[in-house]
Chain A
Amino acid sequence: AQRVTQPEKLLSVFKGAPVELKCNYSYSGSPELFWYVQYSRQRLQLLLRHISRESIKGFTADLNKGETSFHLKKPFAQEEDSAMYYCALGRRALTFGSGTRLQVQP
């Protein structure tokens, strides 16, 4: 069975500090991984997907098949990055991690 683990429920950093939101997955086969974000009072939205290898709002995520990880990183956190972040795996039906709340303090 596929599984996504986000070990941190809450990550608190100061503005300008680097951010790394951890995501580990369990899947037999070639995984498709995504990061979704939910800002306060907004709907859940796609932030980025591993196949595009793009940077969105300064965030990047690299798939490491050896470590079965897909950590989300940003070199300099901004207050507007404060949100709930979900790592998700799959295509036919997404398996979501439990989410990490990122708090960026001024």
Chain B
Amino acid sequence: KAGVTQTPRYLIKTRGQQVTLSCSPISGHRSVSWYQQTPGQGLQFLFEYFSETQRNKGNFPGRFSGRQFSNSRSEMNVSTLELGDSALYLCASSLAEHTGELFFGEGSRLTVL
């Protein structure tokens, strides 16, 4: 089975721009979660989607949004980028919702200049 796939792997943006990151979960997995990883704050939960519905959201500003499609693929969007948004964004999928047994992708590394 193919693992969780995230695209793009690396990207550079400037302040004020917006970015969209994509995640394809493991086949059969219906839950997708997103995490932000930074050296200062570590791994922080962004949101969880299941059956195209956002089930849970972390403590991030409204500039961070996401969605899930009927094939379980998910995208997250960050608008009006700030320097502090530079991070590794990790997507994880799982068979069921509300589980801590997650399968992570390799991440999308975003640099905001």
Q: Which residues of A contact B (CB under 8 A)?
A: 32, 34, 43-46, 49, 86, 88-99
Contacts and interface: CB of A to CB of B under 8 A. Distances in A.
A24 B44 CA distance: 18
B75 to A, nearest CB: 19
Contacts, number: 48
Contacts of B44: 96
Interface centre among B35, B56, B102, B106 (most CB of A within 10 A): B102
B23 interface: no
Contacts of A86: 43
A94 B100 contact: yes
Contacts of A43: 3-4, 104-107
Contacts of B100: 32, 34, 49, 88-91, 94
Nearest to B48: A93
Contacts of B102: 46, 94
B55 interface: yes
Interface centre among B33, B43, B58, B101 (most CB of A within 10 A): B43
A83 to B, nearest CB: 14
A99 B33 contact: no
5 contacts: A43-B106, A49-B101, A92-B55, A95-B45, A96-B35
B84 interface: no
Contact of A92 (B90, B98, B105, B107): B98
